[in-house]
Each structure stands twice: as structure tokens, then as C-alpha cells.
Chains A and B, each alone.
Chain A
Amino acid sequence: MDFRFSDDQLTLTESVRDYLSGTHGPEVLRRLDEQGNRDPAIWQGLVEMGLTGLLVPEEHGGLGLGLVEAALIAAECGRACLAEPLVDTAFVAVPWLVHQGDTDGLQAIAQGTRTVPLPHVLNPWVADGEGQPLQSVDPLRNLAMFSASGPADEHLLNLGALMSAAQLLGLADAMLHQATEYAKIRTQFGQPVGAFQGLKHQLASCAVAIEFAKPVVWRAAQALQDGVTSAATHVSHAKLAAGDAAIQTAETAIQVHGAMGYTYEVDLHFWMKRSWALCGAWGDRAFHVRRIDEAVLGGSLPIGPEHTFA
């Protein structure tokens, strides 16, 4: 029993975080917002980091890593509010294709020449796919109506929900950081507004919610990676905890920014709108509450102190 990441996992995460914070700041989001949303140069950078091949088995030209690594990187994508379809293709489609035994196109994904927009019966539209365009509140999310109904595959749903949860953690972290930094520099009544307890306590409550959502997501990633029978419940728990933390943080962050928070000029809205989108995607809140309910109240999951890792 050891609930820690390995040094390799931490090093990988840190390198992705550093790369994105250095190359993918808010100015990039603004440029994309004005100039067409996708940039082949950003995608190429992700390919060169090896991220498109993170979960592709080594014999198909990838790194052959697992869902825990993918969840850690997905959180970094959320932190950077990355718009490129990396998570959908590399962390949701790839493990699903591998699971299906469909390995033909994996090499092309690893090389960055193929993206796989995946529909699911719960998502009537796909991001970065073909079809009639739909406008999302998230200006960097390119939605298209999917012509046929997607599969009802549970594993696919779990992968999509897990990776959404991981992104939501990163989004929440980033919004808390933005709000905190703003509260340090904005002065009113002769002092930084962050010195007022009214704001301090709201921000501290966000820190609590995020802190306790994190291990739920990591545990879900490990459970899905290990194929434990209760993995679906843990994925739903992750989506619920991370989604609630992100929404709480988004609302607090806009409040902390005051009227500035209500402008398009402040960066916060990109992260907030991505959070709204991901909270509803891959099973909305009601869906995931119901899945936990069925396991916990329905009695299929053993509960109690001796069943922490059931």
C-alpha cells in the first residue's frame, strides 16, 4: 500500500506542466479565440513531447504508459486550458481502441497524424469531429453534431469521465491560482482585497474541495487501470468530486475578481467555460450520482471502514 506517485510519474507531469506554462499561456488562448481555435504548431509540440503516444503500446510506436500517467497529464491540460483534442484522442480513444483490440490506427495517432473524435450515446455531439457545427459556450471547443447515435460502451464512458474529471482538477487549480493572485494585487479600502477574511475563507474552502477531490481521481485512475470490478463507481465518484470542486472554484473565482471577473478581458472565463462543458460531458452530474447511488445504496459495493479500497 503506497498512495504516492513514482518519481518518473512526477517528473513527467512536471515536464508537461513546465512545457505548457511556457508555451500555452492565456495570450495563446486569446489568439486562438480570435484566429480559429486550432494551431498545428501547438499540436506538433504535443506530438514531439510524446503525448499523443503516451498510452499507445510500445510496439505501435508509443510510450506504453497507463491511465494514472494519462490522468496526471490530463490535469495539466486542464490547468493550461488546452484546446487541442489531445485528451479525447490520446487518453480516451487510444485506451478504448486498445481495449477493443483495434490497433491498426494507433501508430498514426502516436505520430500525430490521426485524431479520433469519439461519440458516445451520452454525448450527442463530439469535439473536433465532422458534422453540423454547434456552438459551445466554451469559445475554444469545436463541437459537431454526430449524425448517428454513438455506442453505449461502458468502458469508453469510464475513460471519458475519468479524463474529464482529471481535467477538471487542473482547471479548478488554475482558477484558484488566478483568483488568489488577483486578490493579492487588487487593492480596495487601502489594502489588498485578499487580506479580507470574507475572500480568504471562500478561497480556502475551494482549496479544501480541490485537495479532497484529487485523491478520488487518482484512485479512480488506478482502479480503471487495474480493471477492478468497482472501477465504474470510483470513476463516477471522481467526476462528481472534481466537477463540484471546479464549479465551486469557478463561482468563487469570479466573485473574487469582482466586476473584472464579469468581463471578457479577464482570463478566468476560458477556464470557467471549459469547466461547465466538461461537467456535462461523459455523463452529467445526475448520471454519476445515480451510478454511485446504485452501488452504495443498492448494496453492490461493500462499504465501511474496512473497505476503503474495495
Chain B
Amino acid sequence: MELHYTPEQEAFRAEVRAWMEAHVPKEPLVTLECREGYDQHVAWERTLASGNWGMVTWPEQFGGRGLDLIQWLIFEEEYFRAGGPNRANQNGIFLLGPTIMEFGTEEQKARFLPPMARGEVIWAQAWSEPGAGSDMAAIQSKAVRDGDHYVITGQKTWSSRAAFADWGFGIFRTDPDSKRHKGLTFILFDLNSPGITRRPIRQLHGDTGFAELFFDEVRVPVENCLAGEGQGWNVAMATAGFERGLMLRSPGRFQATAKRLVELYRAHEAEASPAAREAVVQAWGAAQAYAYNTYAVASKIMAGGKIGAEASLNKIFWSELDRSMHRTAMQILGAHAELKRFGNGQINQWLEGYIFSLSGPIYAGSNEVQRNIIAERLLGLPRVGAG
């Protein structure tokens, strides 16, 4: 165990810090979940790309820096230290990008990855359907082969970024007689294709981050299918693995929140409860624990190891930590917690963050599903009911 950075790692940290200090917007951007905020966040993606900081772990040939996971952690620490905005390109960087690298043809890699890295094409995910949320194998939207096209008919919902994004990806039933996990195909589609109707869904906070997608005989070229017809479930599981795994939520984000929570507590120390004080101490501890665990997993992967069902432990931990930190902040804020803007005009970011944190235990596979995975695959308890 060697818990010190090398001089090269320290130098890299200094390089990231200098760039972030010079480029991260001084004022927080408007929320990503509205047109104005989305455009601001996409502009930020392009700024990041201009410094080649958009996709740091991707290989250089696809527009990345080919960094290892420890360097990635350092990058993320500095990103959140500087207060870097949420990533509009999240679905591309961490989900679709790695999926295309693993399953795509050379032509697909060359076509889709560089524009993603440059922040020119922003991707939405389209997994869920009205009848297929946690139970994704219940998908019904159809893609029927017609010559060199698929003709897609059906409906997707709760699609992150889909209100404003350029392209989408999801799985569709290509074999009409198939059931459950079979006969599904992973397809990439232009969200502006004729026949697609997007209906933004107003979320808990009142803004429109995700959307319903209606497909009415949408023609998509067959070369937009990833890993071959009928392989959709395997590809989607790999993608979901990326989502729950190491990279969706880096520790820096939660360490930054814990630090802000400490500062909030200090400002309200006179009126805050002893329980809130201990919750703040616990928040620091849990954010640190998450960081250590991520370093341990990163070290293991760099030495040739893999993570499987352990990713579910991660997803539960960060999502419940995030919710609990924001809940603590709301308690400390007391009567002020309900204000969307404080008396001085400043946005109540704790309120926005609390609302967002409530989605963490639901998306990327609900925490109930994750607990089943842990119980069945890590602890070896019997499976019942699931098909």
C-alpha cells in the first residue's frame, strides 16, 4: 500500500488545477435541466474539449488523454475543487463511449467517438419505457428490419438529457416473437429523425431534464446497431455496469459537498442541533470512505482486476450519502430551506441539490435492484421471482 502521490502525479494535479482555475465559470451555471442552462453546459463541454479535458480517460486516438484511473481521480478532485459544472456529456463519456469502444466496429468508433469527445454531439439515454423501469427486460418498443433500415415504433420515457440532446441510444425489440432478455438490439439514433416526438417531462423541481420519446415508424440505418442484432441485452448490461461502476460518480463531488456542509454548519453553529453536528462529521467520514474505496478499486483495476457486482455496493453508498448530506443541510437551513433564493438573491443550491439527490437512489438501477444484486451475486442468497 502506497498512499502518496508520485512527483509526476503531483505535477499533473498542478496542471489540472491551473487550467481549472483559469477556465471554470466564476458564477454557477443555470441548471442543466432547462434550455438556457443546457446551452451553458454544452458551451462548457466545448471549453473543456478545447483544453483536451473532456474525456481524459479515453485513448488519445478517440480524442482523450489516455490517462490511468489514478490520474482520472486526481483530475476529478481538481474538477470539483474548482467547482466545475455538472457534465452535459455524462452519458457520452461514461456510458456510450466505453460501450462503443468495447462493442463498436472501427467505423462506428471513428464516426461517433470524436464528435462526442469534442462536445459537438450530446447523447441522451433511452432505456426505460412506461412498463419497463427497474424491469428493463419488459421492453416493448419495436425495431422492424426493412432492407437496410430498422423501423422503430414505440415509446421511451424518463430519458435523461432527451429534452435537448442531439442523439440517443437504447435497446429495442427486433425479434417480435422474443421474450424478456432475448431478441433485443442496441440502436443509436438521431433525435431529430422524422417520426420522433419528444415530450419534455416536468421534473420534481419544475424544470424539464428528461423527456418522453415517441417513435412513429422512425427509420434508422442498420449500421447504427451496436454489436449485432439480438445482442442488445448483453450490451446494455455492460453499459449499465459502466453506469453503476467506478466512473459515474467520482468521490470528488461528494468530498466537495461534505466540505460545503462543514462550512454551512459553521455559519449556523449557534442554532444547529447536536444531531446535525454529528451528521456533518459523518458526512466527512463517509465521503472520505467513498474516496478510499474508489482509490482501492482503481488500484485493483489498474493491476488487471475487474469489478462486477461490487459496483452495486458503490451505487448504494454514494446515492444514499448524497441524499443524507443534503438532508442534513436542509435541517441546518431550517426555515430558510424552502427558499428557492435566499434573501440576498443567491440560489439555494442545497435545495436544488437535495431534490436532485432524491433521484440518485432511483436512476442507474434502483437501490432495491442493487440490494437484490448484492444479496444474490455477492452473498449467494437464492433468487426468487425475477425472470
**A residues with CB within 8 A of B:** 1-6, 9, 68, 176, 180, 183-184, 191-192, 194-197, 199-201, 203-205, 207-208, 211-216, 218-219, 222-223, 226, 237, 240-241, 289, 292-293, 296-297, 303-309
Contact = CB atoms under 8 A, between A and B. Distances in A.
Nearest to A176: B379
The secondary-structure label for the interface of chain B is helix
Interface residues of B, number: 62
B289 A4 contact: no
Contacts of B281: 289, 292-293, 296-297
Contacts of B383: 195
Given A204-B375, A219-B292, 20 more contacts: A1-B70, A4-B303, A180-B380, A191-B384, A192-B381, A200-B371, A204-B370, A204-B372, A205-B371, A212-B289, A215-B289, A216-B292, A237-B289, A293-B278, A296-B280, A296-B281, A303-B259, A305-B78, A308-B292, A309-B4
Contact of B77 (A214, A237, A240, A306): A306
A15 B237 CA distance: 37
B330 interface: no
Interface in B285-305: 285-286, 288-293, 295-296, 298-300, 303
B281 to A, nearest CB: 5
B13 A200 contact: no
16 contacts: A1-B2, A1-B9, A1-B70, A183-B381, A184-B380, A184-B381, A196-B384, A197-B368, A197-B371, A212-B286, A215-B289, A222-B3, A303-B255, A304-B259, A305-B77, A306-B17
Contact of B374 (A208, A219, A223, A308): A208
B258 interface: yes
B296 A3 contact: yes
A296 B262 contact: yes
A207 B374 contact: yes
Contact of B251 (A241, A297, A305): A305
B346 interface: no
A201 B255 contact: no
Contact of A297 (B76, B265, B288, B370): B265
The secondary-structure label for the interface of chain A is helix
B257 to A, nearest CB: 10
Given A180-B379, A211-B313, A218-B1, A308 B255 contact: yes
A195 B384 contact: yes
A117 to B, nearest CB: 30
B295 A308 contact: yes
B277 interface: yes
Sorted nearest first, the 8 A-B pairs with minimum C-beta distance are A200-B375, A305-B252, A215-B292, A204-B371, A204-B374, A194-B381, A305-B77, A195-B384
A303 B77 CA distance: 12
Residue from A184, A211, A212, A305 with most neighbouring chain B CB atoms (10 Å): A305
Interface string B217-232: 0000000000000000
Contacts of A199: 381
A194 B289 CA distance: 29
A12 to B, nearest CB: 14
Contacts of A309: 3-5
A213 B9 CA distance: 27
Contacts of B266: 297
Contacts of A184: 380-382
A5 B4 CA distance: 14
B42 interface: no
A214 B252 CA distance: 19
A70 to B, nearest CB: 13
Residue from B9, B251, B303, B371 with most neighbouring chain A CB atoms (10 Å): B371
B214 interface: no
Contacts of A306: 13, 17, 77-78, 81
B3 A289 contact: no
Contacts of A222: 1, 3
Contacts of A183: 381
A111 to B, nearest CB: 30
